[in-house]
Amino acid sequence: MKSIFTRNWRRTVKATLTVIALSLFVPSLALASHGSGEEGGHGSHFALVLAFLGVIVVLAKVAGSIAERFKQVSVLGELLLGIALGIPVLFGWHFFDGFKENELVLFISELAVIVLLFQAGLESNLHEMKRVGMKAFIVAIVGVIVPFVLGTYVLAPWLFPEGTSNFALFLGATLTATSVGITARVFKDLKISQTKSAKIVLGAAVFDDIMGLIILAVVNGIVQSGHVGPGEIAWISFKAVAFLVVSIFVGRLLAPHIGRFLSRISSGVSMKMALALAFAFGYAYLGSQFGLAPIVGAFAAGLLLDSVYFSRFVHPKLTNEIEKIVEGCQDARVSSEVQETLKEHRHRHIEDLIEDFGHWFIPVFFVVTGMAVNLSVLADMKVLLAALALTVAAVLGKIVSGFFAGKGADWKVVGLGMVPRGEVGLIFAAIGRQSGVINDEAFAIIVVMIILTTFITPIVLPRVIKKSVEEKPVETPVV
Amino acid sequence: MKSIFTRNWRRTVKATLTVIALSLFVPSLALASHGSGEEGGHGSHFALVLAFLGVIVVLAKVAGSIAERFKQVSVLGELLLGIALGIPVLFGWHFFDGFKENELVLFISELAVIVLLFQAGLESNLHEMKRVGMKAFIVAIVGVIVPFVLGTYVLAPWLFPEGTSNFALFLGATLTATSVGITARVFKDLKISQTKSAKIVLGAAVFDDIMGLIILAVVNGIVQSGHVGPGEIAWISFKAVAFLVVSIFVGRLLAPHIGRFLSRISSGVSMKMALALAFAFGYAYLGSQFGLAPIVGAFAAGLLLDSVYFSRFVHPKLTNEIEKIVEGCQDARVSSEVQETLKEHRHRHIEDLIEDFGHWFIPVFFVVTGMAVNLSVLADMKVLLAALALTVAAVLGKIVSGFFAGKGADWKVVGLGMVPRGEVGLIFAAIGRQSGVINDEAFAIIVVMIILTTFITPIVLPRVIKKSVEEKPVETPVV
């Protein structure tokens, strides 16, 4: 193909000469031209932003992969990369400052958050949650209330006596989140995903997501409408819950019909992806019409969509190839498992499609959030101590929830498993910062807390689990 | 999984009650809160734009699929959808007007154009072109010069006597483009892709792309810098060609090393895609630094990248599945072709990855471009006649180039095959409109011309080919 250049240098020269030859006629055509120049800067600015995004995402993938080698989540690497990009600012070099406030970069970053919460919704396994339902629910409730109270009523007045009550609310809200991606990986690595402790943590995380979003809706509503009485808070909460319940209910009724109808027109996976994203974006808008953050809608869209609805869409290219494979294997003894894999392959799940779509966007959010950390505020010892205090509160608040895991589960494993704040906490902090409720100092402190809670878990949790297994070798597996 | 709702209605009620219960504690926590509201509109506006994009892309996929049923390219359907969205404006309903000027929508649209030209570069087959090299080159040159001269020096002064010379240049430039996607499909359908005529058309199209981009660079440079002498035109042309040659040369030297280095850090396909996009965006920026349109750089990036450079990246999920399949087939008699397919499958080609990435963006460009057509100007009979005249010139200009196809090729097939203007012409028109060189009237005329040339081809070309085959049954196949 294009190895014309690499294979044969003579051809390179030929091609070069060809292109040069091409150019000779252009001036002759354009000779007689005059005219008035207009905005040459736009294309260049646009291209600069794109180039920044292109390079940043590659660097983020590198940082994420390095983090994964250290058994950390890639998010942590991406976040630290963003923070590292803030180092030049300390030396008075403000090159990246323009980007982090750039509207297009922020747009991509916000789009990424929508996709992220949509993914979280898609991956939330309500069925799984049901099994350990009540226990997980109680753990989740405690794991939300305790950190919230600690943050809003203890830490906020103590660390930020001059802060507004809105600020206190946001601080509490960022402490409620749970991001169990890394915990789930630890459980998988140590092959204890099937134990009761693991099931409770994973179930509680889904409850946590939903509760966190409702809290966000309420806090957001309060921040937006200023002075708020109990009646209005009840009204905002009612709206949030009503939106989630009604929209998921209506969506589940409509989605299969829409999917069937559109698959008759075009059954390709590109339609499937467009449809899934339309749900995510449409729900984000609907949510915002109810005064909720767009991410609440996107999460609801993820919860309601089920791959079954869009099962008629297939990947035409893959389908062809797989049919060839099946033909080749036909007269052979091919296990039913393999045949199943092949059939699966034809349909690409919504989760996979959205994951592919998000691959490029999502790192932008984490890098931009990291860049928003003003490193100079961290030079203050007081700020660092505050970050530490917040981290301690964040850890304690979740460990307390472990006490409610009940018999058959290890409270230390459950409690520690809930500690990492990850994405959701970051999204809260980013929203608070954008709306001006959270200042530079508090934002930096929150990010440090999120980094520490996320960083600690894969280091401490495996030791606790191993100790727990040694003490009572067989933990009741839930079947 | 989430069939919890659909399978069992009682559980729905339970889940509903759960969520309602969740909400009851939030108000109690947030009771004491006060604060000042800030910018509630932002999230809502952002979500509205997203929802618009989400819905528009689904509609575009529908329109594209309908067009394909009529043997037309999907682009035509997307463009017509955009135009149809302008109909309400005729009745004084300006709902969509805000979107088509919205900065975020335009950003997505511009991003789409970059990806589109990157794809065009990736798919350009220099090797293929070489075979019919000189013939294709002459056909391409004639097919660029004749329409350009017709447009700039005949039609522009005749149809738009009050137009600037910049305008005349842009009009000529939009006539030079060739988009052979639809022609290639006709050739494939009629199984004549291997004939000399087909090879010449496909080869000439690549030359056309390169020449078109150089013309765009020159025209753009002229428009930007206003009054321009022959010296400056030569300088702009030189810059464009030097950029293409040097950047492709340097890129080909560096890309394999960068690919190898990064694949050691992360060998996933998400890194591969990020890397490819970084090249596209980085080159778009480099191009703009040379005073070229960003798409020129993106095209160059596509030309230089070869899947071989990034062959170390594999799709981890697919790889696992495929290894399972290979295991299952192992002791069976599996043809080598099938085994080849399986191996291929592990690597996803850059083309495929970028195609997946572009699926969602690219329709936005065509819909937005269609929306930019001011339908009310088309109510003028004079404008419609002008559009017709432009179309005739566009067709004639390319058919003339067929005369130079030489022996063994059918001049009618070659000439008609070059007629559709498609994407590239649209991109030129969009750039001209954005920079203010092309007014509403001329833009509408150009879009009508592009639609007509694209629409005619799959209707007329098959008849001409069938007639040509009847006259001389065996056209020399090129092997």
Listed by start position, the domains of chain A span 72-250+362-471
CA atoms of A328 and A351, how far apart (whole Å): 30
Q: Mark which residues 238-277 of B lie under 8 Å from A by CB.
A: 238, 240-241, 244-245, 248-249, 252, 262, 265-266, 268, 270-271, 273-275, 277
Of A24, A64, A127, the CB nearest to B4: A127
Please say whether the beta carbons of B147 and B394 come within 8 A.
Answer: yes
Structure tokens at B374: 């001011």
Which of B215, B220, B204, B174 has its CA nearest to residue A24? Answer: B215
Q: Do A281 and B334 touch (CB under 8 A)?
A: no
**Which residues of chain B does A287 touch, with a Cβ-Cβ cutoff of 8 Å?**
47
Q: How far apart are CA A252 and CA B11, in angstroms?
A: 14
Q: Which of residues 388-427 of A touch B (CB under 8 A)?
A: none
CATH T-level fold of B66-256+362-471: Na+/H+ antiporter like fold (1.20.1530)
CA-to-CA separations, A76 to A89, A138, A188, A420, A447, in angstroms, rounded: 21, 29, 19, 11, 11
CB spacing of A270 vs B61 below 8 angstroms: yes
pLDDT digits 0-9 by tens, B385-413: 989 999 999 999 988 888 888 777 888 88
Distance (Å) from the C-alpha of residue A148 to the closest C-alpha of chain B?
A: 8
The pLDDT value given to residue A440: 87
Sign, Cα dihedral of B90, B96, B101, B105:
negative
Distance CA B355, CA A1 (A): 19
Chain A's closest residue to B213, CA to CA, is A23
Question: Closest residue of A to B223, CA-based?
Answer: A37
CA-to-CA separations, A474 to A192, A413, A478, B233, in angstroms, rounded? 11, 15, 12, 81
- Distance (Å, whole) CA A182 – CA A68: 10
How is residue B39 written in tokens?
A: 């910018």
Contact B37, B339 (CB under 8 A): no
Is the sign of the CA dihedral A261, A265, A269, A271 positive or negative? negative
* Beta-carbon contacts of residue B367 (< 8 Å; ≥ 6 apart): B56, B59, B60, B78, B79, B81, B82, B85
For B112, name the nearest residue in chain A, comparing CA atoms only: A50
- Give buried/exposed letters for A290-301 (b at 16+ CB in 10 A, else e): bbbbbbbbbbbb
Mutation choice for A interface testing from B29, B167, B252 by most A CBs within 10 A: B29
Q: Which two tokens stand for residue B24?
A: 């009851």
Average confidence (pLDDT) over A121-142 = 76
Question: How far apart are the C-alpha atoms of A106 and A67, rounded to whole Å?
Answer: 24
- Model confidence at A33, pLDDT cuts 50, 70, 90, reads very low
- The answer to whether A222 contacts B39, with C-beta atoms less than 8 Å apart, is no
Measure the CA angle with vertex A323, ends A321 and A326; round to 5°.
Answer: 115
Please tell me whether residue B290 adopts helix, strand or coil conformation: coil
B41 lies within 8 A of chain A by CB: no
Closest partner residue to B43 (CB to CB) among A18, A47, A293 is A293
DSSP string for residues in B127-185: HHHHHTHHHHHHHHHHHHHHHHHIIIIIIHHHH-TT--HHHHHHHHHHHH---THHHHH
φ, ψ for residue A133, nearest 5 deg: -30, -70
Among 1.20.1530.20, 3.40.640.10, 3.30.70.270, 3.90.800.10, name the CATH number for the domain at A72-250+362-471: 1.20.1530.20
Enumerate the residues of chain A whose CB falls inside 8 A of the CB of residue B223: 35-38
| Interchain contact, A332 vs B337, CB within 8 Å | no
pLDDT tens track, chain B, 479 positions: 444 444 455 544 544 444 444 333 333 223 222 222 333 345 567 888 999 999 999 999 999 999 888 888 888 899 899 989 888 878 877 777 778 778 899 899 889 989 988 988 887 766 666 666 788 888 888 988 899 999 888 988 888 888 787 888 888 888 888 877 778 778 877 787 778 888 888 888 878 877 888 888 777 777 777 666 677 778 878 888 888 888 888 888 888 888 888 888 887 888 889 999 999 999 999 988 887 888 888 988 988 887 666 666 666 555 566 566 656 555 444 555 555 555 555 566 788 888 888 889 999 998 988 888 888 888 888 888 989 999 999 999 988 888 888 777 888 888 888 888 877 888 888 888 888 888 888 899 999 998 888 888 888 888 888 887 776 655 555 54
Helices (H), A85-195: 87-90, 97-100, 103-123, 126-131, 133-149, 156-159, 165-176, 181-189
A 301-360: CB under 8 A from B: 303-304, 306, 308, 317, 321, 324-325, 327-329, 331-335, 337-338, 341-342, 345, 352, 356-357, 359-360
Using a CB-CB cut-off of 8 Å, the residues of chain B touching A265 are 62, 65-66
Ranges of H-type helices in A418-439: 422-434
Average pLDDT score over residue span A217-237: 74
Q: Which amino acid is at B345?
A: H
User: Residues A229-236: contacts with CB within 8 Å, 24+ apart?
Assistant: A230/B27, A230/B31, A233/B26, A233/B27, A233/B30, A233/B31, A233/B33, A234/B27, A236/A291
The token pair at A137 is 């629910």
**What span, in angstroms and rounded, lies between the C-alpha atoms of A443 and A428?**
10
- A211 alpha carbon, distance to own chain's centre: 17
**Looking at this predicted complex, what is its ipTM?**
0.78
Distance CA(A208)–CA(A148), nearest Å, equals: 12
CB spacing of B37 vs A345 below 8 angstroms: no
Chain A residues inside the 8 Å CB shell of B1:
125-127, 306
Quick check: A47 and B225 CB within 8 A? no
- What chain A residue is nearest to B436 in terms of C-alpha separation? A38
Measure CB to CB from residue B43 to each of A47, A141, A288 and give the nearest one: A288
Given CB atoms, is A61 within the 8 Å cutoff of chain B? yes
